[in-house]
A = this chain, B = another copy of it.
Amino acid sequence: MSTLSPVTSPLSVADVTRIIDDAYPGIHAGGRRLVIESVADRAARVRLLLSERSIRPGGTISGPAMFTLADFSIYVALLATLGASAVQSVTSNLNITFLMRPEPTDVIAEVRVIRIGKRLSYSEVNLFSEGRPDAIAHATATYAMPPSTVK
């Protein structure tokens, strides 16, 4: 597939946060749980704040909370790379493997966008318990890119 040209300079954390808050006004209704820490060309780092809602009995982070973090952080990396034209990107597939029992801490997601094509993008994300070196989960995802993303 032919490739998209990313924006000349990747957006800032503030830029991406504003695009998301504009597009999804209710996203932080229950309190801001997902914090964008850094963005770069084809990359992002996002933190899931520990909260009652994401904890399971025994102190572990729930699978759906980790899915939400993985999915959101990839979306952040696409916006950082392509700008607001990517806001209509939608998840086509997400494959997540849970590798270790998470610690009862914040979870950090580190995204790498592997491929941005005209129709599809493909990314991977490693999730870490804060301060620990080994990934607790790994996901890959395909996003369908909106036609308007083509520059």
Contacts and interface: CB of A to CB of B under 8 A. Distances in A.
Given A24-B56, A67-B64, A122-B138, A92 B97 contact: yes
Contact of A124 (B1, B92, B94, B138): B138
Q: How large is the interface on A (under 10, 10 to 19, 20 to 34, 35 or more residues)?
A: 35 or more
5 nearest A-B pairs in the assembled complex, by CB-CB distance: A95-B95, A64-B68, A99-B115, A67-B67, A93-B97
A63 B94 contact: yes
A14 B121 CA distance: 37
A117 to B, nearest CB: 8
B93 A94 contact: no
Contacts of A119: 119, 144
B114 A135 contact: yes
A95 B98 contact: no
A67 B98 CA distance: 14
A49 interface: no
Interface in A104-141: 114-115, 117, 119-120, 122, 124, 126, 134-135, 138, 140
Between A90, A92, A93, the greatest number of chain B beta carbons within 10 A of the residue's beta carbon is seen for: A93
A115 B135 contact: yes
A114 B127 CA distance: 12
Interface string A1-42: 100000000000000000000011110000000000000000
